[in-house]
Amino acid sequence: MAKTIQAVRGMNDILPEASAAWQFLEDTLRRVIHSYGYREIRLPLLERTELFRRSIGEVTDIVEKEMYTFDDRNGDSLTLRPEGTAGCVRACMQHGLLHNQVQRLWYAGPMFRHERPQKGRYRQFHQIGVEAFGMPGPDIDAEIIMMTAQFWRALGLEDAVLQLNSLGTVEARAGYRDALVDYLRSRENELDDDSRRRLDSNPLRILDSKNPDMQAVIAEAPQLSAHLDDDSRRHFDELCRLLDDADVACEINPRLVRGLDYYSKTVFEWVTDKLGAQGTICAGGRYDGLVEYLGGRATPAVGFALGLERLIALLEVCGIEPRGAAPHVYLVLSGEQAERHGMVFADELRNAVSGLRVQTNCGGGSFKSQFKRADRSGAAVALVIGDEEVERREVTLKPLRGGGEQETVSRQVIADRLRELVAAEQIRDTAG
Ligand code: HAM
């Protein structure tokens, strides 16, 4: 037999067993984001390659080696989006959303990076991102970081740690860069190949190196904080005060530099030690220069993105297992009349009882096999209709979980019973 076709490496199916957790995660995040008054923007998966080259930076890992880039039939170079910020800025500029107004936006969807797949790192992964435009002060930085803290509260996650740093303005960073390169050159024989390569192109990224042999050199490197300009320092101090007022604890990490070039001033990451090497669940910062750099009017901006696969993994590690949406009712049909009538009856039930989930047996089968399917569906009750019941306008209700007697009742009574079932589930959900 021919080998069946498999998914592309690093690109995962999300199977029905997993989708309850995804829905819980996405619904919870969306609810929190909306509670801050952010509005959704939906963006294409494909953009012109140039957009990412210019915004993420030519000498970043993403642009140098991770983009899915191809020429389309017209010979235009297009790229599957590796992240959402660049496309969001492009769309805002194209549609005039940044003229004399502020914007609070969010987006969700798959991103694509040709990385080496491993636990927590995939080639297609999902982000929810938030971007705020037109607000220069530390108040909006504090708002979006407070929003991230609310995510963890709403999800029941307790031990993510917030790391915070300021990269300063582009000019301040240029001064720091010179000092750093001088230092690194003085210890060039201790650098690994990757770092030596980055010495001229992107020396700040050397600070991010995970190579244990590099840690001594990194630890003694000059610190960016010593080169911060006054405005960035004030901005950072005020942000720290606002977070303190809001009881959002943070660790200042002077080595936090981020892997994308567009940042200035505030950068932050939420990390957990429960996921092994890929422990960053949320990351972002301020990118005041990007809109102007891409040809728009200078517009301050700040945002972040969450890695949903990592959050799903973290929910699982923490034992937070949302219940799936199994049907309340499985409709067992026996006889010609019942089979003819079943679909319509199921719709009557759905219309009569708000929130009711009904699965109707399709494709016939013996009583026994229908009950087997009913059980596998996870339904709380089976409703049985035979030809006689159709005639008498009755239904037999058989609880499938937690015991209880089978009973035959009129169609009128059944809707009330099912309403009670749905209400009981809602009460359980709010209590849990
Ligand atoms: P990023 O740090 O590249 O930032 O990605 C944000 C998050 O996406 C990461 O912290 C991680 O949770 C998740 N992530 C990244 N790559 C992968 C991967 N290969 N597999 C699984 N998860 C991954 C950005 O993308 C910026 N656009 C964030 C931002 C928005 N900054 C300002 N606004």
Q: In CATH terms, is domain 329-431 a member of 2.70.210.12?
A: no
> Which tokens belong to 429?
């959900």
Per the DSSP assignment, residues forming a β-bridge with 125 are: 111
- Measured at the CA of 304, the angle between CA 69 and CA 85, to 5 degrees, comes to 35
Region 375-400: mean pLDDT is 93
The atom of ligand 1 lying closest to the CA of 258 is: 2
Q: CB–CB of 396/371 below 8 Å?
A: no
Tens digits of per-residue pLDDT, 147-179?
999 999 999 999 899 999 999 998 888 889 999
> Which tokens belong to 179?
């000092």
Q: In the prediction, which pLDDT does 432 show?
A: 45
Q: Which amino acid is present at 99?
A: H
Q: In the prediction, which pLDDT does 416 show?
A: 93
| Dihedral sign of CA atoms 73, 77, 81, 87 in order | negative
Q: Answer yes or no: is pLDDT of 261 > 90.
A: no
192 vs 429, more confident: 192
Domain boundaries in the chain?
Answer: 16-169+229-317, 329-431
Whole-angstrom CA distances from 172 to 81, 178, 260 are 30, 10, 17
Q: Whose CA is nearest to atom 8 of ligand 1?
A: 307
Distance 250 CA to ligand 1 centre (A): 20
Measured CA to CA, the distance from residue 336 to residue 345 in angstroms comes to 14
| pLDDT range class, residue 378, cuts 50, 70, 90 | very high
Q: Which of 33, 111, 133, 270 to mutate to test the pocket of ligand 1 (most atoms within 8 A of CB)?
A: 111
Q: Which of 25, 38, 56, 83 to mutate to test the pocket of ligand 1 (most atoms within 8 A of CB)?
A: 83
DSSP SS3 for 177: helix
Region 40-56: mean pLDDT is 97
Q: Answer yes or no: is pLDDT of 131 > 60.
A: yes
CA–chain centroid gap for 368, Å, is 43
Per the DSSP assignment, residues forming a β-bridge with 79 are: 47, 69
Q: Which amino acid is present at 362?
A: C
Q: Assess whether the C-beta atom of 261 lies below 6 angstroms from ligand 1.
A: no
Q: In the prediction, which pLDDT does 430 show?
A: 59
Q: Assess whether the C-beta atom of 129 lies below 6 angstroms from ligand 1.
A: yes
Average pLDDT, the chain: 94
277 burial level (CB within 10 Å; 0-12, 13-18, 19+): exposed
**16-169+229-317: which CATH number, 3.20.20.70, 3.30.930.10, 1.10.3330.10, 3.40.50.1950?**
3.30.930.10
Q: Answer yes or no: is pLDDT of 314 > 90.
A: yes
